Amino acid sequence: MLFTPIHQNLALVISELRATLGKMELALGSIDEAIVWTGDDGGIQWCNTTFDRLVGREHLAVLGNNLAHLLPLRRSGLALTDLEHPVQAVLAQTFTTGEYEFQQAEKTAILEISGSFVELKNGDRTAVLTIQDVTERKRIEEALITANQVMAIYLQEVDKVIGAAIAVENNTFQASLLTDVATREDKLGNLARIFTQMVVQLKAREQELAEAKDQLEAVLNAVPGPISWIDSGGVFVGVNRHLAADFNLSQEAFIGQEVGFLAENAKLAHFLNEFMSSEEKAASAIVDFEVNQIKRFYLIAAQKYQKGNAIVSVGIDITERKQAEESLRIAEENYRSIFENALEGIFQSSPEGRFLRVNPALAKIYGYDSPAEMIANITDISNQLYVDPDQRQEFRDLLDQQDSVSDFEYRSYRKDGCIIWTQIDARAVKDDQGNILYYEGMVQDISDRKCREDELRKQLEELRIEIDHSKREKEVALLTESSFFQEVQQEMSQVDLDEFWR
C-alpha cells in the first residue's frame, strides 16, 4: 500500500472535528425545517435532507445550484426576481424573515423563510436560510380564521336568539328579529324557526287569554257580590271590583295580602282558612262584616281548584233577605204571642174536619187542657164538636160561597159533654186554583150571652102577657062595647110578639 502516515496529533484533532461535524449533519438532517446555505454567489453549498425533499431533488443534484433558481418563490402571486429572492436579500444583509409561495409538483407550498448572513475572516460570505413549510399550518390557521368567522357569525346569531328571548320577556318581540337566523339550515336555524313559531303561537294564546281574562273580569265585576281567589298559603291572588269597593281599596291592594289582613273581614278569613285546611272540596257559610260602617251579610260559597291548592269564593249579599227574615221572625213572634195569649179561640182546621192548629184559648173554651190534647182528640169536627152536624155543613157551604163567615152561631160539645153556644168568624184559605186548603178563624163562647138573651126573652114574654092581661081587662069592656072590638081582637091575634119586642 502506498499510504502516507499522518501526524498522530493532527489526526486526533481531525477525527474529533469529523465526529462533531458528523453529529451536526445528523442533527440538521433530522429536523423538519429545511436548512440551506449558499456562497456569495447564491450557489448552494449545503442543505439538509428536508431541503432535498422540499425541492424534490437528489442531494448531489441540489449542491452547487443557485438557490434562487432552484427555489423560485412568489409573494402574493407575483414571482420574485433573483434580487428579490431571500438568499440575495440575506447576502445583502437586508433580510430577516418572510413568507412566500413555492410551486411544487402538485401544490403551492407556503414557506416561512428566515435567514442570517455569515462572513468568515477569510472573506467567505454565506447566506444561511431556514425554511419551514407552513402550508398545513397556514391551512389550519386559515381554517381556524374561517371557523372563527363562522363562529363569530354563529355567536352573533346566537345573540340574536338570546335577544329575541329577552324581547319576549320585555314584550317587544317581533318575528322579524329572527328572520335572518331562521334562514340557516343548521340546528340554530331550526331553533330560530321553532322559537319564532312558539312565540307567535304563545302571543296568540296570550292575546286569547287576555281577551278571555277581560271577559272574565267583566263578568266577575258584574257579579253584585265579592269574589276572591286565594292560594294555598291563604294569600289573595285576586279579588273582583265589588269586594275591593266594599273595603274602599283597589283590587291590586289585595294581591299578595293574607286573607286576614283586614280586621273587618276576620270572619271571612276564618271561614276560608278553615276550608283550606279541610278535606272538603266545596263549602258555604254566612258571614257578616261591616261595609262602610254598615253590617252586611253575605252567603259565601267557596270551591277548591288546582288540585285543592287554591280557592275561589263567591259572596252573595243577603243582607236584605236577612233583614226580611228578622222582620218575619219578629212578626211570627208577635203572631205567636197573640195566638197564644188571645182571649178568643183561634184555629185552623182542615176541610175534612180536623184541627190543624188551635190556641190555648180555644182549647180552654172546649174544656181541653192544652191545644195538643184538643187536636189529638177532635178528629171529626162535625160529629164530635157540633151538636147539630148539619150546621157544620152549613158553615162549610157558606165558606164555599162567600169565602168568609161572620157571627155564625152554633151549639157545641165541650170535652165533658156539656153544650155551649159558640160564635165563629172564619175564612177559607185557598190555593191559586181556588181549592180550599184550610179554614181559619176565631171562636167565642157566647153561652152566657145566649142565657141572658133567653132570660130576657122570658121576662119580655111574661111582661107582655101581664100587659096584655091588664089591657085586656081595662079595655075589654070598651072593646067589647066598641064596634072595633072584633077588628082589634083580630089584629092582636096576628101580632108576632117576638118580632114586636125585638
Classify 448 as helix, strand or coil: helix
Does position 68 interact with other proteins (CB under 8 A)? The reply is no
Out of 33, 35, 46, 382, name the contact with other proteins by CB under 8 A: 46
Here the cell at position 227 is 269574589
- Is the distance from CB of 67 to CB of 36 less than 8 angstroms? yes
H helices present in 40-178, as ranges: 49-55, 59-62, 67-70, 86-91, 135-170
Q: Which are the contacts of 435, defined by CB distance < 8 A and separation ≥ 6? A: none
Out of 43, 72, 238, 351, name the contact with other proteins by CB under 8 A: 43
Q: Which is nearer to other proteins, 27 or 477 (CB)?
A: 27
Classify 252 as helix, strand or coil: helix
- Tell me how far, at minimum, the Cβ of 86 lies from other proteins, in Å: 19
Q: Which is nearer to other proteins, 42 or 360 (CB)?
A: 42
CA angle 175, 176, 179 (to 5 degrees): 100
Does position 438 interact with other proteins (CB under 8 A)? The reply is no
Q: Which is nearer to other proteins, 1 or 294 (CB)?
A: 1
- Tell me how far, at minimum, the Cβ of 55 lies from other proteins, in Å: 15
- Tell me how far, at minimum, the Cβ of 47 lies from other proteins, in Å: 8
Pairing of strands 294-305, 282-291: antiparallel
Does position 24 interact with other proteins (CB under 8 A)? The reply is yes
Compute how many residues bind other proteins; rule: CB under 8 A.
29
Out of 9, 60, 170, 483, name the contact with other proteins by CB under 8 A: 60
Does position 308 interact with other proteins (CB under 8 A)? The reply is no
- CA atoms of 273 and 281, how far apart (whole Å): 13
Does position 21 interact with other proteins (CB under 8 A)? The reply is yes
Q: Which stretch binds other proteins (CB under 8 A): 58-66, 137-145, 378-386, 481-489?
A: 58-66
Which stretch of DSSP H or E encloses residue 443? strand 436-445
Within residues 1-20, the interface with other proteins by CB under 8 A covers 1-4, 6, 11, 14-15, 17-20
- Tell me how far, at minimum, the Cβ of 65 lies from other proteins, in Å: 9
Out of 45, 221, 348, 384, name the contact with other proteins by CB under 8 A: 45
Tell me the helix, strand and coil percentages in the chain, rounded to 5: 50, 25, 25
Out of 59, 69, 75, 469, name the contact with other proteins by CB under 8 A: 59
Out of 34, 44, 161, 283, name the contact with other proteins by CB under 8 A: 44
Here the cell at position 477 is 069592656
Within residues 383-412, the interface with other proteins by CB under 8 A covers none
User: What single-letter amino acid sits at 410?
Assistant: Y
Does position 183 interact with other proteins (CB under 8 A)? The reply is no
Classify 224 as helix, strand or coil: coil
- Tell me how far, at minimum, the Cβ of 48 lies from other proteins, in Å: 9
Running DSSP on this structure, what letter comes out for residue 83?
T
Which backbone phi and psi does 32 adopt, to 5 degrees?
-80, -20
The 227-246 contact track toward other proteins, x by CB under 8 A, reads: --------------------
Q: Which is nearer to other proteins, 1 or 263 (CB)?
A: 1
CA angle 168, 169, 175 (to 5 degrees): 10
Running DSSP on this structure, what letter comes out for residue 369?
S
Does position 140 interact with other proteins (CB under 8 A)? The reply is no
Does position 118 interact with other proteins (CB under 8 A)? The reply is no
Out of 31, 53, 56, 64, name the contact with other proteins by CB under 8 A: 64
Which stretch of DSSP H or E encloses residue 288? strand 282-291
- CA atoms of 287 and 299, how far apart (whole Å): 7
Q: Which is nearer to other proteins, 79 or 118 (CB)?
A: 118
Which stretch of DSSP H or E encloses residue 220? helix 187-222
Which stretch of DSSP H or E encloses residue 459? helix 447-481
Q: Which stretch binds other proteins (CB under 8 A): 22-30, 229-237, 394-402, 474-482?
A: 22-30
Which positions touch other proteins (CB under 8 A)? 1-4, 6, 11, 14-15, 17-26, 29, 37, 39, 43-46, 59-60, 63-64
